[in-house]
Copies of this chain bind each other. A is one copy, B any other.
Amino acid sequence: MSRSTTQRRGYHHGDLRAELVREGIALLAETGVAGFSVAKVAIRAGVSSAAPYRHFPDREALLAACAAGIIAEITGLLAEAAEEAGPDPVDRLAATAGAYTRYVLDHRAGIDLVYAHDFTGPHHLAVQEQSRRLTDTLMDLASAVLPDDTSWAEIADFVYVHLSTTHGYAVLLLKGARPPQDADGHAARAVTAARDHISGHLVRLRDRSMPS
């Protein structure tokens, strides 16, 4: 890992593939999917517009690599946030909402790629793999929150809604639909929203197991 920076050495780049993904993610953050083009990414990376085609068969493949990179980065941040949140399972799961919000605020439109694009095909296995890892991370955290006899499907359902809440909150923030605050304030509110969802869910489980 001697040269992971943006510096270019000469005719050959060194690690153009990785740099294209980095610049692609940055471009997505600035312009969203609509403003994304292979040519722009190439210019940002300081190479000709044909160079990316040595590393990616087409635009779609570069886009997919960026998506996989974004998801992988988010997964890492969520795991890290959970770790820092301490031992309480609810604290740990709720903390992921804050980290997610922070990421979206930092990377703005980049996030719409992951959710406004179809990566379900067989050409996008890397994206699917990263999505699975993200889900697995949340499943682990969620299973510590829910009762021991909760089925896998019920955990998945719960995780899905947790991620929905978190994602929805962060995405709406990007619309400026809220009075501007600092990132910390938004992240804290996201954590509270996650807590509300968790506690509401647990209350419902309790009420279901011992009806009035």
Seen from chain A, the residues whose Cβ lies within 8 Å of a Cβ on chain B are 32-34, 109, 112, 115-116, 118, 120, 131, 157, 160-161, 163-169, 171-172, 174-178, 189, 192-193, 195-201, 203-204
Contacts and interface: CB of A to CB of B under 8 A. Distances in A.
A161 B169 contact: yes
Contact of A167 (B34, B172, B192, B200): B172
B160 A167 contact: no
A131 to B, nearest CB: 8
Given A120-B176, A172-B160, A196 B200 contact: yes
Nearest to A205: B196
Nearest to A173: B164
A198 B197 contact: no
Contact of A193 (B109, B115, B161, B192): B161
B160 A171 contact: no
Can you tell how many copies of this chain the complex includes? 2
A161, A166, A203: residue with the most chain B Cβ atoms closer than 10 Å? A161
B32 A116 contact: yes
Nearest to A120: B176
B167 A171 contact: yes
Top 3 closest A-B pairs, CB basis? A168-B168, A200-B200, A196-B200
Contacts of A120: 175-176
B176 A164 contact: no
A165 B115 contact: no
Contacts of A172: 115, 160, 163-164, 167
A200 B189 contact: no
A193 B189 contact: no
A131 B176 CA distance: 12
Contacts of A116: 32-34, 109, 112, 116
